[in-house]
Chains A and B, each alone.
Chain A
């Protein structure tokens, strides 16, 4: 059994929270006392049934306004898989929350209201999915009950979306007609849409192959911590602790430490009380080297036969996340895995109108703005490009005056 992380994009009226509520409800993932709390709440659907959206609206302000403000994480499992849902708000003013929820997702569900079809926000949500490099997309055409479960309506929306997907270079897309409110094709196959022969949403989520994710084969381990017990028995013990973010390290592999460029050989890979022959993407381990090399937190251990790029000048996509606008005259901090360095935004190349996908010149970058910039870092980064290696191709920006996370960046190219 493995984990599928997905996020849902849709706006206030698309029934996104209802869809998640329905998934939880129909998979028996809502416990009696939670259900009781919902039933006692003062919010019901027009037909008197329980409003499942309340399940995900966790904060008081959200319940009062009937909207989702922040990212809420929900968990459920079937006998096939464990699921982690990032429920994010769909309105343009919460673009940063959507980017946050999408950053860790393997799959995106884009909700389209069957009555309205592909609209401006569908374009926006799909753009964010392509920006964040999410490989699997489900287009859930919701509220089919409001259009008489019409195949014609569904087909028209599918056709329309295909051209958008082409423009955005989205690849693995699955279209499912659903009614979250009535439960059609969410967990159970709907009898009201005999013309649809595909999977229900849950069945699809249970079997979609997440290993197809283009995980980079290039071995990278950002060093988080050096373990040095300095006891009499373990006098010379020196282990480099970190999580393999991509590829596989094996004992006897030749490695290079960046940014110093020093090289050595892996003498031992440890995981607590075990010695391993190899460690792959996702594993948190401790690596020992055959020779003494000066290594500290912030350094990256890489396979010598697959070196990353090194640069202080990087073209990146930036999503601005702070209410205070980007100031190109000041120095920010950039956090790339375990490394933190000073950074300036040397140039704003363009900004994207995320509703129309048009690019235009801009000299200001405000909350929720997305576009291409040039980052100039104080220290050299050992990086990969985002489309090849998400973990080693992404970073956050921190405003050292407020310590807030103010930007998300995805490396797209080295700049000259």
Chain B
């Protein structure tokens, strides 16, 4: 009999596919939250593996801050065209225009927090009962305690003290009307696992993940893209540097790192040696030790 070789990436992949199929089987109106970042791109590949040659049993939903890297939007549109799946865009700009969200002021203003308003609105409008997201437990310590099926109340809130026990590989997706579940199929993956998987599967990524020349400013010790969406003043010095991004978020709160890594092998080598976690490049996490916990309680991804 041939030796059956099932390595750690196969195991993580099989687990994620199992979770995606549980979503399809247990919910009426699920959605896959697609940010254009590497984690949600990985989710899309996993969904192809779970459901092809059939259609996805859910649309892709992009919560668009309006403060995007052009490369991400371009990537998103090409990907959706290739997949032939439905894309729903929830617009933060629209939430602001309708007065539901208020633009932050000041130098470090970002639309990151406003996404929650648009996300909850989009969930309500489309009556989604499950939202699949690419969050991982290794990202942040409040995430380390989140379930794979994470129930949110009518207001999108996460209550860490009322989490359901999650045993074996059995996921309880039963909810009351108005509630919804956030589902995290790659909970058990690390950043390095995601990169190794992307390399193995030969998955295309938006170009901003790879080293490129860009105008940046240095703020609070971090490199930020010089863009019309970042509030700049005369103290800010624009420099052209070779950088890449480790996460893809709102352009106004996602820091770049100086890097020469323009190939996936170089990126994996760089991450393996890196001493800074990927959320270390997220200004939104720096606010306090409980920053992520508080945002999740408020309905954040």
Q: Is the CB of A404 within 8 A of B164?
A: yes
Instruction: State the majority secondary structure of interface residues on A.
Output: mixed
CA distance A408 to B164 in the complex (A): 12
If A73-B188, A335-B172, A408-B165 touch, whether A237 touches B53 (CB-CB below 8 Å) is yes
Q: Is the CB of B141 within 8 A of A72?
A: yes
List B residues 167-205 near A (Cβ within 8 Å): 167-170, 172, 174-176, 187-188, 190, 192-193
Contact of A284 among B17, B137, B167 (CB under 8 A): B17
Residues of chain B lying within 8 A (CB to CB) of residue A239: 54
Most chain A beta carbons < 10 A, residue from B21, B192, B193:
B21
List B residues 1-54 near A (Cβ within 8 Å): 2, 4, 6-8, 10-15, 17-18, 21-22, 24-25, 48-54
Q: Is the CB of A31 within 8 A of B165?
A: no
The distance from the CB of B31 to the nearest CB of chain A, in whole angstroms, is: 17
Q: Does B145 contact A (CB under 8 A)?
A: yes
List B residues 128-168 near A (Cβ within 8 Å): 137-138, 141-142, 144-145, 160-161, 163-168
Q: Does B277 contact A (CB under 8 A)?
A: yes
Q: Is the CB of B14 within 8 A of A282?
A: yes
Q: Does A14 contact B (CB under 8 A)?
A: no
Contact of A70 among B160, B274, B290 (CB under 8 A): B160
CA distance A33 to B222 in the complex (A): 13
The distance from the CB of A278 to the nearest CB of chain B, in whole angstroms, is: 8
The distance from the CB of A220 to the nearest CB of chain B, in whole angstroms, is: 13
The distance from the CB of A237 to the nearest CB of chain B, in whole angstroms, is: 7
Q: Does A297 contact B (CB under 8 A)?
A: yes
Contact of B138 among A63, A75, A284, A338 (CB under 8 A): A75
- Stretch of A161-169, A174-182, A257-265, A390-398 lying at the B interface: A390-398
Q: Is the CB of A31 within 8 A of B164?
A: no
CA distance A337 to B25 in the complex (A): 12
CA distance A250 to B10 in the complex (A): 19
If A283-B14, A338-B25 touch, whether A398 touches B174 (CB-CB below 8 Å) is yes
CA distance A125 to B232 in the complex (A): 57
Residues of chain A lying within 8 A (CB to CB) of residue B22: 224, 338
Q: Does B55 contact A (CB under 8 A)?
A: yes
Residues of chain B lying within 8 A (CB to CB) of residue A2: 6-8, 11
Q: Does B280 contact A (CB under 8 A)?
A: yes
Q: Does A32 contact B (CB under 8 A)?
A: yes
Contact of B53 among A84, A234, A404 (CB under 8 A): A234
Q: Does B287 contact A (CB under 8 A)?
A: no
If A2-B8, A60-B293 touch, whether A396 touches B172 (CB-CB below 8 Å) is yes
Interchain residue pairs with CB less than 8 A apart (19): A2-B7, A2-B8, A31-B275, A37-B289, A60-B289, A72-B141, A75-B137, A97-B165, A103-B167, A224-B18, A229-B55, A237-B53, A241-B21, A241-B50, A282-B6, A333-B174, A338-B22, A391-B169, A396-B168
Q: Which 6 A-B pairs have the closest CB atoms?
A: A58-B141, A33-B280, A284-B17, A224-B21, A403-B174, A32-B275
